[in-house]
Amino acid sequence: MKAHAAALSIVLTLALAGPAAAAEPSAATHVRPINAAGAALMADAQQKSQTIRDLVATLEASDVIAYVRPASRQVGEVESDLRFLASSKVQRFVLIKIGSDRSADRQVELLGHELRHAVEVAQAKWVKDGRDFGRFYVMIGSSAYDNGHPYETADAHKAELAVHRDLRAATATQD
Could you read off the pLDDT of 92-130 as tens digits, one per residue? Answer: 999 999 999 999 999 999 999 999 999 999 999 999 999
Query: The domain that contains 122 carries what CATH number?
Result: 3.40.390
Total domains present in the chain: 1
Which residues lie below 8 Å from residue 174, measured CB to CB, with a gap of 6+? none
- The radius of gyration computed from the CA coordinates of the chain, to the nearest angstrom, equals 15
pLDDT average, residue stretch 162-175: 88
User: Domain containing 103: what range?
Assistant: 2-174
Give the pLDDT confidence score for residue 143 in this predicted structure: 64
| Of the listed ranges 66-70, 75-79, 120-124, the one predicted with least confidence | 75-79
Q: How confident is the prediction for the chain on average, in pLDDT?
A: 84
Query: Rounded to whole angstroms, how far apart are CA atoms 56 and 138?
Result: 25
Length of the chain measured in residues: 175
Give the pLDDT confidence score for residue 149 in this predicted structure: 55
Give the pLDDT confidence score for residue 22 in this predicted structure: 40
pLDDT average, residue stretch 73-88: 88
Q: Record the pTM.
A: 0.83
Percent of the chain with pLDDT over 90: 66
- Sign of the four-CA dihedral 82, 153, 117, 138: negative
Q: What's the gap between Cα 97 and its chain centre? A: 7
Q: Answer for the pair 35, 69: CB distance below 8 angstroms, yes or no.
A: yes
Q: Which residue has the higher pLDDT, 27 or 57?
A: 57
pLDDT exceeds 50 at position 8: no
